[in-house]
Structure 1
């Protein structure tokens, strides 16, 4: 019985550890983009992976930073260990305590501290700042690995070599270094692993055009992780698994086989030494040299004009960038962010100078009020004539006079419901409080979106700052909470496609995609009204390439380019000329993508309510989530 329980326990551990990885591997061969629906077996995501410049650049950046930072940190950390070991015991203890502080510190503290240091020293955020940051937080881990080996060495052996006429350098490499080599290698591998896995420090110290795999994946959260990422993760997992299998294949045998096994192990150790002392340095050298040419070709060292674009993740067709570069000769440095709240501090701090940014309506208002935006020279944007006047007027709610912004995408927030799971037509927010749909309701995990639903249902403005109205909305959300299956963001898409819920609050652009995957889904803007949002192009006041920024904005306002972006992201385009080019009449006349003025009559755009009112909203939302 004990053995049976042990086997069950071991099986459960293996399942918990490897079931997620198995799921990831299976999804990498799923023909459907959504993880909630099996569309058949395919290998196209592996082909697409190696054709995706953004992912390949992120992968290469991740590897080059991990290798360089680990190598440099290993050299510095080993030298520091030698110095610490030579200190008096009291000072050595103090220095080890100081060295351990960065490892005990939260990564976010280290990341923000380094970012502030780089800003204060006027460093340009980019590849170099990430590399310096990774070296900094890797050094303590190298010291931690090397110090135990140094304590095991016999200093008298080193002194004897010196007495026999060896130079200090020769004596170190022939006597001391072989003894501490396992610690040095362990430190290098630990530093490499820590750098490879880092997100927080990279996020705070990176600049435009530089992404690692962690920041790239994080920037895609708004649209959901692409299947290409599943394919890449599968390749990495299989590579590591094969390497571990090769390393841990131990020969065994008896009698004559035992001698053969010992010889095999001896050959394997010799191979390991050759691998670590010759092959790895050679590979590192090749990667570093290749990386140098790679980054030299991408920088502006030749004086080539450029424009630095800061946009939402997966919010622009990559082909548009290539076309713009080919037609104008202007190089595009493209950077992605996840939320308005992450984007805003970077613009406000001035740590990174972007040329074009794509915030949402209320954030544009905030940026205007804080004098962060430059007025647009409309003479440089003749394609503005393609914009529907309706959205230009709508934009005046947050940009009076249309001085600072050009509409890019727009949409609504509404209810997506499964017609096979809901036995009545839905036209009101009230269904979200219907007890017969308990545990089948998905709400947006967003303070403004959640309160907008409650406020509009109560008949108030979604920009209300009246404390009585906000408390009433909070109480309504608390009342609703037992009925809610989950508070989600992009997951509502996959859950609704997979029939995991009956009703969900969703953005209209996502609703279009879900209907392609599951025709049983229906989208509606409730009769009480909702949020109509507009994301627009703006130019920060400190933009170094303002004219190039206006050329880029004018380019994306061109009808054929606007159509490409609409088909890529499925969010509604305010470009009336682009809409006329849509071939599919069902899409061109879709009430989801292009609702009528009657449907939008009671819809509002979000406005920036001020820091004080934002704090009130956040506090009330915390009360809702904590109940």
Structure 2
């Protein structure tokens, strides 16, 4: 009698399938969205696919991901299988010991493994890049292969090899023609797991790569700072490729089995499958070779003679460059620029302290102050930066580097309130300033930036304190202010997703950085920007040269180039943050087609209540603890 499936089971199954596959379907649909929004569909378009295929950085990331995944899978499968076979013939004590060791990379948190490898490569002074990334991937893939193959080996008759050799087989023939076919399902499943783990890895890859070698995971992570629908297009392509691979892997055995039942040879199918794999490998290798040759085109003997090297290593936040800035610089100076991205100043600091070397880095004001105090920066040779004369007076002599001895501003701006003037009275915003974030009329309708630094800044300013205060009573007052806001306003804590949220009008008020606010105002005419009269954070990200830079001459050339009108205009037009170039700033704020009517593009200058953050690690640790308590009280 056939057992009926209950309605409850069907509902659970349906909900489970929806939970797994709806997000994937969502990504695919929005990859064809004509709008920049990640949440509202604005019509069918292929614009993001066009942008993706035109983006050499994306294509390189895909290439590196595939090459590393294939090589790591092949090596890990061979090594893992051989190790598992050898281990199966070892003593029980040895087996148990090796199995426990093999379990460590699997059970260890990825971040622990990543930091360990980072320190390991740093101690050995190994230059991080393709080689270190590949070694790391092989290392964490091998245990998964062994875990897949070992159970199959245990299920075999222990006398199988002896029987094969009694029938005249050599040890190698017994292994290749008897053992391997028996454990093939375990080998295949181990290889698939290894490929998936390598293709998908982010944390370990992030800490073990360098020299501009990025995989898809790192690229997507650094792209997620700003609204970039190309991520959806890239994800859709990846989903399609993985679906095709899984389809081939699952269909080939079925076809082989059917042909064998029909009395036909299955070797043709196997040969075709092997040919397909070989084709992928060849394409990967050829692609890598072509990519390498293309990068060689950037090399110039004249650049080497002039600067000592034709490679510049640039380290900056993600989504922080004009569309043509790097390519134009490479063409003009006959060099190659390796671009790497970080997601926070603290992450950048960690990699620098681990020994990673860059020629130009672009940290924020307080981090520059910290690097200066630790003698990690070299003074600039201003004779090599004549374009400093193009800079606006407002960005010269910032408090963290009064004489611009070590830094040249890259972008600057403020932190303020973006609000929907259709739902929030501008007079209320102007009269209350930061206190509007505790106005219960707007409870449930505010975004708060999930950062202890920025959140305590607005609390300090609302209370009339300095945002760099070390007074315990003032710090406690700010904590109570935030706690009261948290408990009465039901705020949503966000980071960069605030851009999409306010573009689509999901909330009425948000704490936003001026550059992001400029993008929001440009996309949604119902939004306005206001810098509270209680004061705010005026910030500046600047170009500096580390003390251990390998190419300081070319670094100076790059800094000087970034101060030209063309580079500065491309930069600010693409990113949206305020340019330090006086001519570009004037054009941006006077043209109606640009930012003339966009209040967020105009940082407030010279206001006595505005401040910059200073480096104070003790204060930041205290604020971090209190911020965790604030959010935990929600």
Q: TM-score range by the shorter chain?
A: over 0.9
Is the Cα–Cα contact under 8 Å of residues 37 and 497 in structure 1 kept in the other structure? Answer: no
Mean alpha-carbon deviation: is it higher for 380-389 or for 182-191?
Answer: 182-191
Alpha-carbon distance between aligned partners in 2 of 1:242 and 1:9, rounded to the nearest angstrom:
28
Aligned to 2:177, which of 174, 177, 186? 174
Farther-moved stretch of structure 1 (67-76 vs 267-276): 267-276
Give distance in 1, aligned partners of 2:323 and 2:114: 30
Structure-2 residue corresponding to 1:310: 315
With 410-419 and 424-433 compared, the bigger mean Cα shift is at 424-433
Q: Aligned partners of 2:44, 2:279: CA distance in 1, in Å?
A: 39
> Using a 3 Å threshold, how does the CA distance of structure 1 residues 262 and 325 change in structure 2: closer, same or farther?
closer
2:276 maps to what in 1? 279
Gaps of 5+ in 1: 253-259
For residues 525 and 23 of structure 1, the distance between their equivalents in structure 2, rounded to whole angstroms, comes to: 36
State the Cα distance separating 1:602 from its structure 2 match.
2.0
Aligned to 1:464: 469
Q: Distance in 2 between matches of 1:192 and 1:240?
A: 10
Moved more, 559-568 or 421-430: 421-430
Say whether 1:119 aligns with 2:122. Answer: yes
Indicate which of 594, 615, 619 corresponds to 1:608.
615
- The question of whether the paired residues in 1 share the 8 Å contact of 2:366 and 2:400 is answered with yes
Pairing of 1:397-408 with structure 2 (within 5 A) = 397-408=399-410
Give the secondary-structure state (helix, strand or coil) at the position aligned to 2:631.
helix
| 1:202 pairs with one of 200, 205, 210 | 205
State how far apart, in whole Å, the 2-side matches of 1:320 and 1:410 are. 18
| Whole-angstrom CA distance in 2 between matches of 1:148 and 1:118 | 34
Which stretch shifts more, 411-420 or 272-281? 272-281
**Alignment check: 8 A CA contact 2:361 2:544 kept:** yes
Residue of 356, 375, 382 corresponding to 1:371: 375
Question: Partners of 1:222 and 1:44 in 2: how far apart?
Answer: 20
Residue 173 of structure 1 and its aligned partner are, at CA, apart by: 1.7
- Equivalence for 1:58: 61
Q: Are 1:5 and 2:13 counterparts?
A: no
Which whole-Å CA distance do the structure 1 matches of 2:107 and 2:6 have between them? Answer: 40
- 2:424 is aligned to 422
Tell me the residue number matched to 1:593: 601
Question: Which residue of the other structure, out of 548, 552, 557, is the alignment partner of 2:558?
Answer: 552
Task: Show the counterpart of 1:257.
Answer: none
> Which residue number corresponds to residue 288 of structure 1?
285
- Please report how far the alpha carbon of residue 414 of structure 1 lies from its aligned counterpart in structure 2 after TM superposition: 0.4
Cα deviations by residue, 1:35-89 (Å, 9 ceiling, x for unpaired):
2433222111112111111111111111111111111111111121122112112
Kindly indicate whether residue 521 of structure 2 is the aligned counterpart of residue 515 of structure 1.
Answer: yes
SS of 1:536's partner is: strand
Aligned mates of 1:121, 1:596 — CA distance in 2:
48
Distance 1:418 1:272, change over 3 A: farther
Conserved 8 A contact 1:405-1:538: yes
Secondary structure of the corresponding residue to residue 416 of structure 2: strand
**Residue deviations 1:369-398, cap 9 Å, x none?**
0110010000111111000122112x2x10
Give the TM-score taking structure 2 as reference length.
0.91
Structure 2 unaligned blocks of 5 or more: none
In the alignment, what sits opposite 1:391? 395
Q: Specify the alignment match of 1:445 in structure 2.
A: 450
8 Å Cα contact 1:70-1:192 kept in structure 2: yes
Please, which of 41, 44, 63 is the counterpart of residue 47 of structure 2?
Answer: 44
Taking the aligned partners of 1:247 and 1:347, their CA distance within structure 2 comes to 43
SS in 2 for 1:401: coil
Task: For residue 592 of structure 1, give the secondary structure of its aligned residue in structure 2.
Answer: helix
Give the TM-score of the pair, scaled to structure 1. 0.92
8 Å contact kept, 2:110–2:204: yes
What is aligned with 1:255?
A: none
Q: Offset of 1:590 from its aligned partner?
A: 4.4
How far, CA to CA, are the matches of 2:629 and 2:410 in structure 1?
A: 35
- Structure 1 residue 336 displacement after superposition: 0.7
What displacement does 1:187 show? 1.5
- Alignment match, 2:361: 357
State whether residues 145 and 191 of structure 2, in contact with CA within 8 Å, keep that contact through their aligned partners in structure 1.
Answer: yes
Deviates more, 1:186-195 or 1:228-237: 228-237
Deviates more, 1:311-320 or 1:548-557: 311-320
- 2:529 & 2:203 partners in 1: Cα distance? 37
Residues 260 and 266, structure 2, Cα contact 8 Å, conserved in 1: no
Partner of residue 325, structure 2? 320
| Number of aligned positions between the proteins | 614
Residue 413 of structure 2 corresponds to which residue in structure 1? 411
Q: 2:216 aligns with which of 213, 217, 240?
A: 213
SS in 2 for 1:527: coil
